[in-house]
Amino acid sequence: MKINVDANTYTNSSLNDALKQLRDSSKKPFDEATPIPPIVNHSINFYNLEQNRIFNKEWICIGRCDEIPLPGDYLTYDIAGTPILVVRQKSGEIKSFVNACAHRFTCLVKENSGHAFAFTCPNHAWTYGIDGQLNHAPFMDLKSNFNSEDINLEVLHTETWEGFIYVTLSTKPSKKVADSLDIFRKNIVGQYDMGSYKSVLRETMSWDTNWKNLIENFTESYHVPIAHPKTFANHKKPIQDYKCGENSDHYCYHFAPQAADNGPGAAHPKNKNLKGEWRRTMVDFCVFPNHLVTLMPDYLWWVSVMPQGVDSFKATWGLAVPPEVLSDINKDDLDLWLKEKINYMNTANDEDRALVEALHKGSQSNRLPKGVYHPIEKNLWQFMQYLTKITA
């Protein structure tokens, strides 16, 4: 956890004060609502509660299924300080484990991704198959009654949805990802066939702000025409055209069509799934608590945000494109195309970072007006409702 050098008014506030202010704010209907109380983003006690109630129990997106296409392909990730190892099995199934040896808990794999036939602990060379079963433990025959068949890596619950991989640290998850998002899939995102999109980028970034500030920034487009002149504003979606989705305990979203029927942001001519206005419509959504997606007919951008203290987060993000879009790119041009995509997304991130860090800094003050929401910022109110329920 990052140390708070410059403690503010809210840093050491009591958990009861934070919860009371959050509950009081959440009681207001959206038309009368005010922004999330600053104490919720700055209180260390509330941060500790988030670690327990949210990140140690909820489903967390760690990447895309096609990032590990072959048996033995793996990704690593950290959830609330727990190192995770996600591996494609010989059966095609995706399994997840705590990335720690069953001997004395040394972290097994340091790399962010790769391919392995087995995983060997660097400490004492205990070796596990890709299924997590212990296959070799040097000199452990000196211990009576030692049976390697009884020893394996700690298995975690894993689910996939629309091409994304989710893992939870909970031993008994209270819900299933697919069930929670079924209505959303049927009514909105299912028509895009996100599972067929091909991953082309996976990057990380760290910002000096609370993780919830990014969630709020991503889930509202009121700022886009002003804050993104070099990127998203060029799609020219009028503010009045944005629509916010239904209330849900599991997600929030908004969507809007762009003006152009072709070019960037529009469906490829070979796309037969999307019809009418949906062929040029963007959907921004958040799968609570921390999985953000901008879904377009010609690409998707996903972000998974992990707090590292009240004033810092690390986020993993990636880009995926429909196969028909990728097939149009000449192999000789692929590197240049990827470079342009990276530059575009980095520019968008830079545009947002300045705003999000400024929001965190401004909200440290103990003297603030009460604030107000724009009509297309309903997703922020919905996220606040989720926080209230999950931390109750």
For 237-265, what is each residue's pLDDT tens digit?
Answer: 899 999 999 999 999 999 999 999 999 99
pLDDT at residue number 157: 98
Choice among 115-119, 184-188, 331-335 with the minimum mean pLDDT = 331-335
User: If you average pLDDT over residues 296-318, what whole number do you get?
Assistant: 97
pLDDT of 6: 60
pLDDT at 3 over 60: no
Please tell me the pTM assigned to this model.
0.95
Copy the structure tokens of residue 33.
């609502």
CB atoms within 10 A of CB 266: 21
Smallest CA-to-CA distance from 255 within 286, 216, 229, 213 is with 286
| pLDDT-derived band at 5, boundaries 50, 70, 90 | very low
Would you say residue 310 has pLDDT above 70? Answer: yes
Q: Over 50: is that where the pLDDT of 186 sits?
A: yes
Q: Which residues pair with 133 in a beta bridge?
A: 152
Q: Give the chain's mean pLDDT.
A: 95
Peptide bond into 173 cis (omega under 30): no
CA distance 33 to 23: 12
**CA-CA-CA-CA torsion for 336, 342, 344, 349, nearest 10 degrees?**
-170
Question: What beta strand segments (E) does 125-271 contain?
Answer: 127-129, 134-136, 155-161, 164-168, 198-207, 243-244, 251-257
Longest CA–CA span in the chain (Å) reads 73
Rounded (10°) angle between helices 378-391 and 211-218:
140
Q: What was the pLDDT predicted at 348?
A: 95
Distance in angstroms (rounded) separating the CA atoms of residues 202 and 302: 9
Mean pLDDT of the 83-99 span: 98
* pLDDT score for 8: 81
What mean pLDDT comes out for the span 349-377?
95
Specify the DSSP class assigned to residue 217: H
Alpha helices in 145-210 (DSSP H): 177-180, 182-187
- Crossing angle of helices 334-362 and 211-218, in 10° steps, is 110
Share of the chain above pLDDT 70, in %: 98
Percent of the chain whose pLDDT exceeds 90: 94
Tokens linked to 304: 């998974």
Phi, psi (deg, nearest 5) at residue 378? -60, -30
CB-based contacts of 280, cutoff 8 Å, min separation 6: 257, 258, 259, 260, 261, 265, 266, 267, 297
Rounded Cα gap, residues 69 and 327, in angstroms:
18
Q: What is the pLDDT of residue 1?
A: 46
Confidence of residue 68 (pLDDT cuts 50, 70, 90): very high
- Tokens read off for 121: 């602990």
**What pLDDT digit, counting tens, does each position of 14-39 carry?**
999 999 999 999 999 999 999 999 99
- Cβ neighbours for 253, distance < 8 A, ≥ 6 positions apart: 184, 188, 219, 244, 245, 283, 284, 285, 286, 379
Instruction: Give CA separation, 4 vs 77, 152, 360, in Å.
Output: 24, 38, 13
Backbone angles phi, psi at 190, to 5 degrees: -60, -30
- Could you report how far apart the first and last alpha carbons of the chain are, in Å? 24
Q: Is the dihedral of CA 214, 98, 62, 184 positive or negative?
A: negative
